[in-house]
């Protein structure tokens, strides 16, 4: 090799922290607490507080590579952990507050967390699994509701107040202290566990390098696009896949961050978007569904003129929702796909010039797809035998990805079969890819309905049903069937006061799908069961209704 002559300067979160202090100390971090009061601190204060936190953790015995857990909503203290813990060489481990206490205990023990930073309002949750924790030595309480902290727990603010930080001269070099030694760029910075729909939750350790590259790719204009002019509201929890990397994208660019705290209802979010003049907000479709309904009910109430784009991901954003935001409220949705295992940004539904030039519905179709891989993520899809499939918009296969922020293993041997011998990660998503490279998820591999020899996309049926005027939500899943193996069943949540007959629904779907795709059964339900990350829990629907077709003995 004729080696390049350039520096191997490490890609670390430390640089994000230093850059913020050196170049945009005045940029703001806004947090709304449980009492809905809004507090503001600058990047400079965030740096100083992250340094105090790192010093305090060091004093408590936290060393390089040690895991420090968080059990917190989105707020400035959580950001201080996101920045300060990795920059001191330790690893921040975000615990998902929506998991079952027994799962949380498993995860904290598996990661060997030595300390937990917990919101006081979440202490009741911690109490449910605290007794089962094997390695945690310190519980550090963020007094988000202002209440007292009982010994032996430690008060986050008191810990920070007990440390002294010397004033820093302008510039990039940190003085002696917890951030003066750069971690290796391949060292772990953050640990996230997948929600584990099968088997144990599995840990993924994002490295400094993957986190930084992910933040850079997300910041690009032909990506999410983040600049110092932006005001970012991550509705997506910081305990879920690094809040999609937004805290790091903001830190890299000096964008203002707005953290919503625990109030995630549509009205509270809309209030915050309007009052803080948010330009980018990000969350799962359920959140946006609620917001769309509120905007439809009171279209003039909130001034969202600053909003540039709303990033929707984590589950499929229905085309009807994307169109409704734009047509009725002039708001642009950017649909994104990703996974815990991909740091998490994988694909983004941007409209390339050639697509726009085609006119008609081409642009909306592209925006409703899961999109194009972001730079440095590569995509392919394969059949059951692992053969790579054509990009023909029709052939369904399992999506595989690779790239600098895609996991190459889990933190244990479990799930090893998801990593191919030629270096790709098997996503478990069934997709088509078109000639332009747009990925369309037709299903999770475990949810695709295998009727006779044909595959039926539950997601396509759900999206079509959710475009029906009487339907709020629909979940389509496989019912066991004597003759065909599986046939689709649709569970429907109607809008208040509305309903439709089976014949009307079949006629509605019949306009778009072949006859064999139409559900054999429609059941009206109160609400769709969901897992801890807000995704439809179809296993539960299958448990309840999965045998309904067998007893009916229908021939499909």
Residues contributing to the site for ligand ADP (CB under 6 A): 194-195, 197, 241, 313-316, 335-340, 370, 427-429, 441, 444, 533, 535
According to DSSP, the β-strands at 203-207 and 231-234 are unpaired
For ligand ADP, the closer CB: 286 or 533: 533
| Residue 284 Cβ vs ligand ADP, minimum distance, rounded to whole Å | 8
Classify residue 44 by burial, with Cβ atoms within 10 Å: 0-12, 13-18, 19+. middle
| Residue 240 Cβ vs ligand ADP, minimum distance, rounded to whole Å | 6
Biggest CA pair distance of the chain: 78
SS3 assignment, position 287: helix
Verify whether residue 194 is a known catalytic residue. Answer: yes
| Residue 283 Cβ vs ligand ADP, minimum distance, rounded to whole Å | 12
For ligand ADP, the closer CB: 62 or 349: 349
For ligand ADP, the closer CB: 73 or 156: 73
d(CA 385, CA 383): 5
For ligand ADP, the closer CB: 33 or 534: 534
For ligand ADP, the closer CB: 121 or 442: 442
The catalytic position among 63, 408, 446, 450 is 450
For ligand ADP, the closer CB: 47 or 248: 248
CB 17 within 8 A of CB 87: yes
Verify whether residue 499 is a known catalytic residue. Answer: no
Please list, in sequence order, all residues whose beta carbon lies within 8 angstroms of the beta carbon of residue 304, skipping any fewer than 6 positions away: 270, 273, 274, 278, 329, 331
The catalytic position among 276, 341, 462, 473 is 341
For ligand ADP, the closer CB: 288 or 337: 337
Verify whether residue 455 is a known catalytic residue. Answer: yes
According to DSSP, the β-strands at 309-312 and 280-283 are parallel
CB 402 within 8 A of CB 425: yes
| Residue 337 Cβ vs ligand ADP, minimum distance, rounded to whole Å | 4
SS3 assignment, position 396: coil
* Cα angle value 33/208/155 (rounded, 5°): 35
Identify each DSSP E strand in 104-211 by its residue range.
113-119, 138-142, 154-155, 188-193, 203-207
321: tokens are 């929702």
401: tokens are 């990805």
d(CA 44, CA 288): 33
276: tokens are 């803080």
| Residue 344 Cβ vs ligand ADP, minimum distance, rounded to whole Å | 6
Verify whether residue 341 is a known catalytic residue. Answer: yes
The catalytic position among 309, 326, 455, 540 is 455
For ligand ADP, the closer CB: 183 or 428: 428
| Residue 98 Cβ vs ligand ADP, minimum distance, rounded to whole Å | 11
CB 230 within 8 A of CB 251: no
| Residue 224 Cβ vs ligand ADP, minimum distance, rounded to whole Å | 13
DSSP count for the chain of H helices, then E strands = 17, 25
| Residue 102 Cβ vs ligand ADP, minimum distance, rounded to whole Å | 17
d(CA 372, CA 393): 13
Q: Please list the alpha-helical segments (H only) found in 226-385.
A: 246-253, 266-275, 285-297, 319-329, 353-358, 362-368
The catalytic position among 121, 194, 279, 342 is 194
Helix axes 246-253, 76-87, angle to 10 degrees: 80
The residues assigned a catalytic role are: 194, 341, 450, 455
């Amino acid at each position: 090799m004729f080696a390049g002559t350039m520096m191997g300067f490490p890609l670390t979160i430390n640089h994000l922290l230093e850059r913020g202090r050196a170049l945009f100390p005045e940029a703001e971090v806004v947090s709304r607490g449980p009492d809905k009061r809004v507090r503001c601190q600058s990047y400079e204060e965030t740096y100083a507080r992250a340094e105090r936190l790192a010093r305090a953790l060091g004093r408590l015995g936290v060393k390089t590579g040690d895991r420090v857990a968080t059990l917190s909503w989105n707020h400035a203290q959580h950001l201080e952990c996101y920045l300060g813990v990795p920059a001191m060489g330790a690893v921040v481990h975000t615990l998902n507050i929506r998991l079952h206490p027994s799962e949380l205990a498993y995860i904290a023990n598996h990661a060997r967390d030595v300390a937990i930073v917990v919101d006081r309002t979440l202490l009741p949750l911690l109490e449910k699994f605290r007794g089962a924790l094997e390695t945690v030595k310190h519980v550090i309480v963020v007094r988000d509701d202002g209440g007292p902290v009982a010994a032996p727990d430690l008060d986050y603010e008191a810990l920070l107040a007990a440390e002294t930080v010397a004033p820093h001269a302008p510039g990039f070099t940190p003085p002696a202290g917890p951030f003066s030694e750069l971690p290796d760029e391949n060292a772990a910075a953050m640990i996230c566990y997948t929600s584990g729909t099968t088997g144990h939750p599995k840990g993924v350790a994002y490295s400094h390098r993957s986190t930084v590259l992910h933040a850079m790719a997300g910041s690009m204009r032909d990506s999410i696009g983040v600049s110092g002019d932006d005001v970012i509201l991550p509705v997506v929890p910081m305990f879920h896949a690094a809040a999609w990397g937004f805290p790091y994208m903001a830190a890299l660019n000096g964008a203002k961050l707005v953290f919503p705290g625990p109030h995630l209802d549509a009205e509270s979010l809309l209030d915050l978007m309007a009052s803080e003049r948010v330009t980018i907000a990000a969350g799962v479709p359920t959140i946006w569904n609620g917001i769309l309904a509120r905007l439809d009910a009171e279209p003039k109430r909130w001034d969202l003129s600053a909003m540039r784009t709303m990033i929707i991901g984590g589950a499929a954003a229905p085309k009807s929702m994307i169109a409704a935001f734009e047509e009725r409220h002039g708001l642009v949705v950017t649909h994104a796909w990703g996974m815990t295992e991909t740091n998490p940004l994988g694909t983004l539904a941007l409209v390339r010039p050639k697509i726009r030039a085609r006119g008609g519905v081409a642009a909306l179709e592209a925006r409703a797809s899961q999109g194009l891989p972001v730079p440095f993520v590569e995509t392919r899809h394969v059949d059951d035998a692992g053969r790579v499939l054509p990009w023909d918009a029709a052939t369904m296969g399992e999506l595989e990805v690779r790239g600098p922020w895609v996991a190459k293993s889990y933190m244990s041997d479990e799930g090893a079969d998801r990593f191919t011998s030629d270096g790709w990660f098997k996503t478990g998503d069934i997709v088509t890819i078109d000639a332009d490279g747009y990925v369309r998820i037709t299903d999770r591999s475990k949810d695709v309905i295998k009727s006779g020899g044909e595959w039926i996309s539950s997601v396509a049926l759900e999206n079509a049903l959710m475009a029906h005027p009487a339907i709020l939500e629909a979940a389509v899943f496989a019912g066991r069937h004597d003759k065909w193996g599986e046939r689709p069943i649709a569970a429907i949540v109607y809008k208040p006061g509305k309903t439709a007959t089976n014949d009307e629904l079949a006629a509605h779907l019949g306009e778009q799908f072949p006859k064999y795709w139409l559900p054999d059964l429609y059941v009206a339900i109160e609400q769709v069961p969901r897992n801890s990350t807000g995704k439809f829990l179809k296993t539960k629907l299958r448990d309840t209704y999965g045998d309904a077709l067998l007893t009916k003995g229908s021939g499909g």
